[in-house]
Amino acid sequence: MEPASAVARALREAPLEGLEALIEASSDDPRATVASAVARARRRLERERADRERVAGLYRTMDGLAEGGLAVGVDEVGRGPLAGPLVVGAVVLPPEPIVWGIDDSKRLSPAARERLDARIREVATAVSLVWVPPADIDAHGMSACLRRAMGEAVSACGVEPDAVLIDGNPVHAHPRERCLVGGDGRVASIACASIVAKVARDRRMVELDAAYPGYGFASNKGYGSASHIAAIRSLGLTPEHRASFCGRFVD
């Protein structure tokens, strides 16, 4: 008989596709360690099945909004921070394979975002990122920068979309845009766009933390935390700050 610890490990590490069969094969094992592992595996199976149904729903919504045609999902990261770039992501997904686990990037752990970013880039028909530096935001305003960046991100995908699906309110970035509030948690390609944009921007903020120590960019990602505002007041602004966002924190 296989050691109980080995059976428990197999149940813990088994991929979803083989988990149900492994549970059934182990369910009559009288050993307490195995029985506990089977119970945990059953709960995991239920959770993962429910999550797969959720993700399948994101794909169905995407397909419905595009009326069966080609959809580009678009989302931005970094609209509100005091420092760092605005990043717009655009993603085109094929019907298969499905990228399981996708969601609004804000609901995912950093590790999950990194894993999904890699998977999205493997699977997607097209992925594009457009970066808007703080100086452009100061010069032209957020709305104009967002509109231009979203249009550029769609163009960079190199496809002629039947629908451009954007998270949030109307941007008027593309004649075929369809905007959905909360779209990053409702539409597969928008969720993927939010993930790739978030991962890229977070990596950049870690780089900026090394270039401009004292502001906590690696942890606050440029947002206006109390410690970040205190650093602005004591150290002043960097070239990566949006001066138009920081007027009340500087003399």
Q: What confidence tens digit (pLDDT) does each residue in 97-124 have?
A: 999 999 999 999 999 999 999 999 999 9
Averaged over 169-177, what is the pLDDT?
96
Strands 71-77 and 86-92 turn out to be antiparallel
Question: The domain that contains 156 carries what CATH number?
Answer: 3.30.420.10
Q: Do 168 and 102 share a structural domain?
A: yes
- Span 192-216, average pLDDT: 98
Residues 60 and 170 in one domain: no
C-alpha 212/C-alpha 240 separation (Å) is 9
Quickly state the pLDDT bin for 23 (edges 50, 70, 90).
confident
**Whole domain around residue 55: which residue ranges?**
4-64
- Shared domain for 177 and 200, answered yes or no, is yes
DSSP for the chain reads: ---HHHHHHHHHH--HHHHHHHHHHHTT---HHHHHHHHHHHHHHHHHHHHHHHHHHHHHHHHHHTTTS-EEEEEEE-SS-SBS-EEEEEEE--SSS--TT---GGGS-HHHHHHHHHHHHHH-SEEEEEEE-HHHHHHH-HHHHHHHHHHHHHHHTTS--SEEEEESS----STTEEEETTGGGT-HHHHHHHHHHHHHHHHHHHHHHHHSTTS-HHHHTT---HHHHHHHHHH---TTB-GGG-GGG--
Query: Which residues does the annotation place in the binding site?
Result: 75-76, 167
Binding residues for a divalent metal cation, by number, are: 75-76, 167
Contact partners, residue 107, CB within 8 Å, separation at least 6: 185
In this structure, are 97 and 187 located in the same domain?
A: yes
**Residue 32 is encoded by which pair of tokens?**
């307490």
Whether 147 maps to a domain, the answer reads yes
Q: State the average pLDDT over residues 25-38.
A: 85
Q: Domain check: are 23 and 100 in the same one?
A: no
Does residue 85 sit in the same domain as residue 23?
no
The number of domains in the chain is: 2
User: Is 16 in the same domain as 73?
Assistant: no
Q: What is the pLDDT of residues 220-251, one digit of tens each?
A: 999 999 999 999 999 999 999 999 999 999 87
In a domain, 166, yes or no: yes
Same domain, 28 and 113: no
Q: How many residues does the chain have?
A: 251
**pLDDT at residue 29 tops 90:** no
Whether residue 1 has pLDDT greater than 80:
no
Mean pLDDT (the chain, rounded): 95
Single residue among 14, 31, 64 that ends a domain in this structure: 64
Residue 28 sits in the same domain as residue 77: no
**In a shared domain, residues 75 and 199:** yes
- Residues 135 and 188 occupy one common structural domain: yes
In a domain, 153, yes or no: yes
3-state SS string for 50-73: HHHHHHHHHHHHHHHHCCCCCEEE
Q: Which residues of 183-221 are buried (b: 16+ CB within 10 A; e: fewer)?
A: bbbbbbbbbbbbbbbbbbbbebbeebbeebeebbbeebb
**pTM > 0.75: yes or no:** yes
